[in-house]
Amino acid sequence: MSELSREALLEIVRGVWERHDPMPDHLVATMQAAAAVADSDLDLELMELVERSTELAGARGSTSYTLRFVHGDTDLLLRVAVDNGSSRVDGWIVPAEPMTIRALPGEDPADVEAVTTESGRFSLTGLPVGLMRLRLEPHDAGRPAFATPTFEI
Amino acid sequence: MTRTGHSRAGDGPSHDERSSAVWARATDGFNRWTAGDPAGLDDLVAVMTPVLWHVVRAYRLSDSAAEDVIQNTWLALVRRRAAILDPVAVGGWLTTTARREAWRTAGAKTTPTPVEDDDLEHVLPQQRSAEESVVQHDDGDRLWAAVDGLPERCRRLLRIVAFENRPDYRELATELGMPVGSIGPTRGRCLAKLRVALIEAGEV
């Protein structure tokens, strides 16, 4: 057989490592999600948290509390409820405006989103418990998206 | 099965062809992303993350430490993309950033106890497709034995060189604790050792 060229040897090295220490299957998707979140955060204005209710403990381990965020003229009121591990967020945007509300959970790139009703209400259900933020995308293309700071469910 | 073409006559893309394709795709993704297309960033991440994995793992980081380094590299890219003036250089920027971070992380361990490869081997996932394991079992094991039998410095250097385009030899020298200017000759010696090992294993 012919003498192995430098390229052929490096090709062998590459193949060996790809088989013996392969990149974890999930890695590309995880990195795409992390990069995309960081990218969308760059030009994203943050809402300001202006009010937070104390937790209202309900029966059998359910809790709920409310948060109020402000950004410019937009008010966002959230009621966050956790009941036995499943959680939901009910929101109300004032003044009412057509928007897509997207949940950006900390690590899970699960895409939970909702569109506001005519009265400015929306709800997101089946959210993972943990750190979370909401991205608000006005349907008026002239208005840039903005987001809440991270809060915990 | 182009991958099995490595030890035989040159079917399949050569190392240089492969890496220039990878680098061209990275540049293309970067250009589309900076032009406002988020899918460009997805493509850039998809094509470069495997490269970063192998470069970072050459520093003997655990799975989770390697993932952290890679994630920090992507976050750094997103935040500092304005600093990348030449889109063609984006692949090199990423691998260099990842290597620096990997080196820092590896060095931050209080006791730099070298892990024996035997220990490491049990930890490493050995994923192969059913098809691959049938076709490449003997072949692959002998190739692995040849690469694995190299001195640590050679293993690490060749892994980095195999996956990177044109690593910065000056930085590599610092990281590998070698004199500047010795990387080129060392790489040559390491390749020669590998060639001999393959001949002895009957692979050539």
From chain B residues 48-107, the ones with a CB under 8 A of any chain A CB are 49-50, 53-54, 57, 63, 67, 70-71, 74-75, 77-79
Q: Which of A58-72, A96-110, B101-115, B156-170 has the lowest mean pLDDT?
A: B101-115
- What per-residue confidence (pLDDT) applies to B35? 87
- What per-residue confidence (pLDDT) applies to B93? 93
Cα separation of B176 and B86, whole Å? Answer: 28
A23: DSSP letter? P
> Residue A32 is nearest to which of B7, B46, B128, comparing CB atoms?
B46
Residue numbers in A near B195 (CB within 8 A)? 3-4, 9
- What per-residue confidence (pLDDT) applies to B123? 44
Is residue A14 within 8 Å of B162, Cβ to Cβ? yes
Angle at B113 between CA B92 and CA B108, to 5 degrees: 50
What is the C-alpha R_g of chain A?
22
Mean pLDDT, range A87-97, rounded to an integer: 93
Q: Which of A14-18, A69-73, B136-140, B164-168 has the lowest mean pLDDT?
A: B136-140
- Name the more confident of A141 and B157: B157
Query: A101: closest CA among A152, A49, A50, A47?
Result: A47
Q: What are phi and psi for residue B187, nearest 5 degrees?
A: -60, -45
- The residues, any chain, with a CB within 8 Å of residue B176's CB and separated by 6 or more, are B153, B156, B157, B183
Domains and CATH numbers, chain B: 12-112 (1.10.1740), 130-204 (1.10.10)
Cα separation of B122 and B129, whole Å? Answer: 19
- What per-residue confidence (pLDDT) applies to A54? 72
- What per-residue confidence (pLDDT) applies to A59? 59
Structure-block tokens of residue B138? 């003997």
> Residue A31 is nearest to which of B63, B71, B140, comparing CB atoms?
B71
> Residue A8 is nearest to which of B6, B78, B128, comparing CB atoms?
B6
Work out the pLDDT band at A61, boundaries 50, 70, 90.
low
Residue numbers in B near A8 (CB within 8 A)? 6-7, 10, 14-15
Which DSSP string corresponds to A59-98?
Answer: GGG-EEEEEEEEETTEEEEEEEEEETTEEEEEEEEES---
Is the pLDDT assigned to residue A92 strictly greater than 60? Answer: yes
Cα separation of B194 and B6, whole Å? Answer: 13
- What per-residue confidence (pLDDT) applies to A91? 95
Residue numbers in B near A2 (CB within 8 A)? 9
- What per-residue confidence (pLDDT) applies to B137? 53
A143: DSSP letter? S
Most confident of A24-28, A106-110, B124-128, B182-186: A24-28
A interface residues, B as partner, C-beta within 8 Å = 1-4, 6-24, 27-28, 30-32, 34-36, 38-40, 42
From chain B residues 112-131, the ones with a CB under 8 A of any chain A CB are 124-128
- Name the more confident of A143 and B137: A143
Paired strand residues for A100: A115, A137
Query: Inter-chain contact B78–A35, Cβ cutoff 8 Å?
Result: yes
Of the CATH numbers 1.10.3470, 1.10.10, 2.60.40, 2.115.10, which one belongs to the domain with range A45-152? 2.60.40
Indicate the domain borders of chain A.
Answer: 6-40, 45-152
A42, with CB counted inside 10 A (0-12, 13-18, 19+), is exposed
Is the C-alpha dihedral spanning A14, A18, A24, A28 positive or negative? Answer: positive
Mean pLDDT, range A4-31, rounded to an integer: 93
- What per-residue confidence (pLDDT) applies to B169? 82
Sheet strands (E) in chain A: 45-46, 48-52, 56-57, 63-71, 74-83, 86-94, 99-105, 112-115, 121-127, 131-138, 146-147, 151-152
Under-50 pLDDT residues of chain B: 1-11, 110-135
- What per-residue confidence (pLDDT) applies to B165? 77
> Residue A31 is nearest to which of B45, B161, B162, comparing CB atoms?
B45
Cα separation of B52 and A28, whole Å? Answer: 11
